[in-house]
């Protein structure tokens, strides 16, 4: 069962719909075929295993080859398809000669929905939001330790936080939320898909969304608001119009479930 994937691999495929779907298929197939080797395989066999069309499987396999995640070999006269591991390789510790995987090198897949290839792909899209949230939480915590530590914080943590903040020039946390358009741009998908993956991420316990009210930008009578919307787009990029009103959609503030 696939429990982790390399963060580097995820960042490479997250914004590419074809590569993202191909990775989702690979995760599904590896979860249902423990040795990660398909012997005497055909596109029809893989399609049957992944519940996809053979032409779709062929296209996804081509993408996986571009990502160097699969290879074909002939072993003892048998045509075999081998899936490579998706985790970060272990590195040698210079202090004790042991091998380990860096803590931040992999992304856990414990919370994703693995019932189908499509469910995995949508879960991978939700991870995009949870990763952004975790990154902002990390920097917020670093800056808090560096500038305003509490008695509970150890001197070792504070010293390390100050060193990191000094090295990266971090003085105050300025991270905002994410807009629908920002998420759509990062994932190369539509706004309706963004709404679905936000709901999925909340259902799977990846994050929760802070509820924020719409901001009324301007009241325009006579059902002319939609015609006037273009004049407000420069100042309010996420604005939208009803018949008489122009509203600003605030950015979404996401929180990890640990903050509840």
Q: Give 30-47 pLDDT, tens digit per residue.
A: 988 877 889 999 999 999
pLDDT of residue 156: 86
70-75/37-39 β-pairing: unpaired
What's the pLDDT band for 202 if we cut at 50, 70, 90? very high
Determine, yes or no, domain membership for 156: no
What's the pLDDT band for 1 if we cut at 50, 70, 90? confident
Give the number of domains in the chain: 1
pLDDT of residue 62: 96
**What CATH number is attached to the domain comprising 15?**
1.10.10.10
Determine, yes or no, domain membership for 78: yes
Determine, yes or no, domain membership for 31: yes
What's the pLDDT band for 82 if we cut at 50, 70, 90? very high
**Residue 99 pLDDT more than 60?**
no
* pLDDT tens digits for range 45-63: 999 999 999 999 999 999 9
Mean pLDDT of the 183-202 span = 94
Which domain, by its residues, includes 58? 4-110
pLDDT of residue 102: 63
Could you tell me the two tokens for 101? 């995987």
Determine, yes or no, domain membership for 17: yes
Determine, yes or no, domain membership for 204: no
CA angle 73–12–17, rounded 5-degree value: 90
User: Which stretches of 70-213 are assigned E, i.e. beta strand?
Assistant: 70-75, 78-83, 91-92, 99-100, 106-108, 208-210
Determine, yes or no, domain membership for 61: yes
Q: How far is CA 89 from the centre of its chain?
A: 21
User: Which stretches of 139-178 are assigned E, i.e. beta strand?
Assistant: none
What's the pLDDT band for 98 if we cut at 50, 70, 90? low
Mean pLDDT of the 202-229 span = 82
* pLDDT tens digits for range 157-183: 888 888 888 888 877 777 678 888 899
Question: What single DSSP character describes residue 167?
Answer: H
Determine, yes or no, domain membership for 254: no
Determine, yes or no, domain membership for 164: no
């Amino acid at each position: 069962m696939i429990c982790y994937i390399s963060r580097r691999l995820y960042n490479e495929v997250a914004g590419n719909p074809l590569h993202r779907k191909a990775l989702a298929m690979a995760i599904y197939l590896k979860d249902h075929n423990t040795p990660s080797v398909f012997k005497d395989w055909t596109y029809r066999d893989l399609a049957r295993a992944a519940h996809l069309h053979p032409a779709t499987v062929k296209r996804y396999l081509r993408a996986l080859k571009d990502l160097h995640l699969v290879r074909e070999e002939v072993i003892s006269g048998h045509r075999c398809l081998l899936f490579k591991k998706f985790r970060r390789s272990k590195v040698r510790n210079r202090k004790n000669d042991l091998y380990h995987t860096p803590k931040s090198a992999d992304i856990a897949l414990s919370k994703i929905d693995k019932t189908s290839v499509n469910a995995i792909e949508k879960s991978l899209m939700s991870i995009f939001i949870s990763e952004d949230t975790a990154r902002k939480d990390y920097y917020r915590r670093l800056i808090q330790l560096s500038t305003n530590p509490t008695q509970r914080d150890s001197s070792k943590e504070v010293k390390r936080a100050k060193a990191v903040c000094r090295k990266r020039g971090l003085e105050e946390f300025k991270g905002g939320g994410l807009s629908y358009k920002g998420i759509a741009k990062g994932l190369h998908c539509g706004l309706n898909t963004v709404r679905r993956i936000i709901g999925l991420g909340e259902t799977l316990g990846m994050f929760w969304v802070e509820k924020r009210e719409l901001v009324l930008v301007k009241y325009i009578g006579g059902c002319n608001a939609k015609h006037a919307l273009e004049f407000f787009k420069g100042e309010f990029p996420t604005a939208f119009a009803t018949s008489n009103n122009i509203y600003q959609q605030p950015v979404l503030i996401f929180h990890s479930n640990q903050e509840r």
